Amino acid sequence: MRTDDYFDPEIETMMPDDLRALQEAKLATQLDYLFARSPFYQEKFAAAGVRREDFRSLKDLARFPFTLKEELRESQQASPPLGSHMAADMIDVIRLHASTGTTGRPSFVGLTRKDAQVWTKVTARSFYAQGIRPCDILIHATGLTMFAGGLPAKDAIELIGATFVPVGTGASEKVVLYAKSLRASAIHCTPSYAMYLAEYVRREAKMDPRELGIKKFVCGAEPGAGIPAVRAKITEEWGARVTEGLGNADMIPIIFGECPEQSGMHYNGQEYVFNEIIDPESGEVLPIEAGLSGELVYTSLERECVPLLRFRTRDRVTILGTSCKCGRTSYKLRCVGRTDDMLIVLGVNVFPSAVRDIVSSFYPQMTGEVQILLEQPGPGVKPPLQIVAEYGNGGPDQAALQKKVEDKIKSVLSVSAAVQLVPEGTLPRFEMKGQLIRKLYEK
Ligand SMILES: [Zn+2]
């Protein structure tokens, strides 16, 4: 391994015991800060009956309460502008980002100068792990304005020394024009957009996507780029390497990034975010080992504006390994879906991304675009699962194709499905985040 294989060689190859000691010391300091400065946590800790002296080592963290996204929303509504979980002074806040949840009301996150530097550093580590280098010209084809994956991505790409081209969303014509005239080598977008853009290039620019010469697809914002069939499709269409990243707008936009081994995303928040994997039903902390599946929980270790303790992400992840040929000592995972999105069909857990995985495996007979229709709010769904999926070119016998897809869903997921086939291009394409579920009850 060479030192230029890593953005921060020392921390990315640190021995796990040394890292734990560092995290323990930092968490103690972060707790001092929370007990002293966060009205939100002062109240939560008092209600849970935990005191500062209850934390002596990392394993004591499990005694402290979880933080839920709904609590942050309520706190922000009750104490504007940023909520009682804001622990810095507003004068020290240099930027705000917002995410819009299902309620449509924006949820703000503030950054001090130091917080912004941490975001930039961790995000840069992830992009670097994904193979971005100073020589790259990267087209940013996802949200740019209030989106936490926008300006922080710009800062990180610039810190690496690569060239950031801020195209944003809704501008496929410009993406193609700039990629061609600037000879861009990389693109940052969602996996759904990577697939849509290939279709767009064929249809509108009358080109083979490979002719654009993009060699690196740095994907994120939704699970998908790690699904073998989706990855194979993007790779084949573009002749490019696909890697994915994962983060959280309330914590750090990109905390995990996949290395060139393409076998899961490395954890790159080492000294800034402590992670736990829990059983989403019982809340029990599970030991991190290959094959483990559970919900990802983040704790900030050095945050000023909105330090969060045991923040439940609702991201359902699977640990793929705790060592890697690339030399990074952090574990690797894949996000399989949101625990919020999970459906239960006659007692069987079904992630919408798993349905897309199966449908995508029929590519090119199917485009891979899919929507699950819900008549009533989940997670419980009466069988059969209603699925709309697009057929691609060259699938003449639709009845047989439909049966094949239904059979495969039944054999892999153990649920019965009713698949309705629609022509290519019928389902909406998303540049920010794909919507795999259509709620028929929300008109
Ligand atoms: Zn690796």
Query: What per-residue confidence (pLDDT) applies to 393?
Result: 72
Q: What is the pLDDT of residues 324-365, one digit of tens each?
A: 999 999 999 999 887 777 788 887 888 888 888 888 888 888
**431 Cα–ligand 1 center, Å:** 28
Query: What per-residue confidence (pLDDT) applies to 31?
Result: 98
Concatenating the DSSP letter of every residue in 175-186 gives HHHHHHHHT--E
How far apart are alpha carbons 332 and 256 in whole angstroms? 8
How far apart are alpha carbons 62 and 57 in whole angstroms? 10
**375 Cα–ligand 1 center, Å:** 42
**Is the pLDDT score of 126 beyond 90?**
yes
Q: Which residue has the higher pLDDT, 82 or 367?
A: 82
**255 Cα–ligand 1 center, Å:** 14
**367 Cα–ligand 1 center, Å:** 30
How far apart are alpha carbons 248 and 218 in whole angstroms? 16
Query: What per-residue confidence (pLDDT) applies to 101?
Result: 59
| Residue 24 DSSP SS3 | helix
Q: Which residues are paired to 364 by β-bridges?
A: none
Q: Which residues are paired to 436 by β-bridges?
A: none
**258 Cα–ligand 1 center, Å:** 7
**261 Cα–ligand 1 center, Å:** 6
